Amino acid sequence: MKGFVDLDRVSLRYGGEDDGTLALHEATLKVALGEFVAVVGPSGCGKSTLMKVVTGLWPPTAGSIAVSGREVTGPLSIVGMAFQNPTLLPWRTTLANIMLPLEIVRPHCTRLRRERASYEAKVRDLLALVGLKGFEDHFPWQLSGGMQQRASLCRALIHDPSLLMLDEPFASLDMFTREELWMALQDLWLARQPTVILVTHDLREAAFLADRVLVMSARPGRIVAERTVDLPRPRALEVTYEPYSVALVHELREHISASRTQTACKG
């Protein structure tokens, strides 16, 4: 089977060829088109490295990556990214911040000047979908952390990317805001069906949002376990407290602690 995202024994080593840190070790994974995959693992296991490799920001040391059937050699414009920090530009309003990808990605950048109004309407719709209606003209520092993160999600989605890469986007938020944003993200995903790779260390988050959860080992990162989440969509928050989810989280936790003890001596 050929996946939409296809990693074949990908390794990445920082620094020197021999003495550098091995961050990823022969990671192999496939993600189907429109699938929501979560990657969990202990901190420092190379999850963020995985993101950078898949999006083509860093070339791998070994192995090959293909997205949409094509070998990844450089950054891909079909990708939307959101990080743990919202990374909004402080001199731009919410609206202008979300327009940013449109100014860069083809074919939007050439159309933007002529069809500004329709693009702005699109941004407003998206903002309404995540509950940011009325905050279009606010500057990022006038928004709370949760609202900034919503805006950051909108920015990742505005150019209709077929692949959405989320690098612990909710990690710095409190639990209630985080749960609110899970719902917002689920709504966005159901409405647009992009392929999503979510990197997180929150197991409940992974179990609630994903179709499939991959467990990475401690550095050097490898995929050590995989679990499919059989829960109907749309999921309600209560699902996370039902026996199925609790058992799933429990199982994921065991995989992670097992992978940690194996490599504990390496620090």
Partner 1 sequence: MSETVETPVRRGKPPLIRRKTLRRILPWIVIVTFFALWEIFVRLFEIEQFVLPAPSAIFAAGWQWRWPILDNSWQTFMTTAIGFLIAVAFGLLAGLAIGSSSLIYDGFYPALIGFNSIPKVAIIPILVIWFGIGTVPAIITAFLISFFPILVNVATGIATMEPELQDVLRALGARRWQVIMKVGLPRSMPYFFASLKVAITFAFVGSIVAETVAANKGIGHLMLVASSRFEVPLAFAGLLVTSVMGIGMYAVAAAIEQRMTGWAMRGADGGMNAPPA
Can you give the binding site for partner 1, defined by CB under 8 A?
52, 55-57, 74-77, 79, 81, 83, 85, 87, 89-91, 100-101, 103-105, 131, 135, 137-139, 141-144, 146-147, 155, 159, 165
Q: Which residue is associated with the tokens 């088109």?
A: 33
State which amino acid sits at residue 239. Answer: V
Helix, strand or coil for residue 239? helix
Q: What is the Cα–Cα distance from 237 to 245, expressed in whole angstroms?
A: 11
Nearer to partner 1, 27 or 147 (CB): 147
Nearer to partner 1, 47 or 255 (CB): 47
Q: What is the Cα–Cα distance from 91 to 97, expressed in whole angstroms?
A: 9
Closest distance to partner 1 from the beta carbon of 7 (Å): 17
C-alpha separations of 172 from 97, 110, 131 in Å: 20, 36, 19
Closest distance to partner 1 from the beta carbon of 125 (Å): 18
- The answer to whether the Cα torsion of 155, 161, 164, 167 is positive or negative is negative
Closest distance to partner 1 from the beta carbon of 122 (Å): 17
Helix, strand or coil for residue 32? coil
Nearer to partner 1, 141 or 241 (CB): 141
Nearer to partner 1, 155 or 204 (CB): 155
Distance of CA 24 to the CA centre of its chain: 18
Nearer to partner 1, 52 or 235 (CB): 52
Helices (H), 55-114: 94-99, 108-111
Nearer to partner 1, 87 or 262 (CB): 87
Q: What is the Cα–Cα distance from 265 to 262, expressed in whole angstroms?
A: 8
Closest distance to partner 1 from the beta carbon of 91 (Å): 5
The two structure tokens encoding residue 92: 């731009």
Closest distance to partner 1 from the beta carbon of 103 (Å): 7
Nearer to partner 1, 157 or 249 (CB): 157
Helices (H), 93-136: 94-99, 108-111, 116-129
* CB atoms closer than 10 angstroms to residue 195: 24
The two structure tokens encoding residue 42: 């202990």
Closest distance to partner 1 from the beta carbon of 62 (Å): 22
Closest distance to partner 1 from the beta carbon of 87 (Å): 5
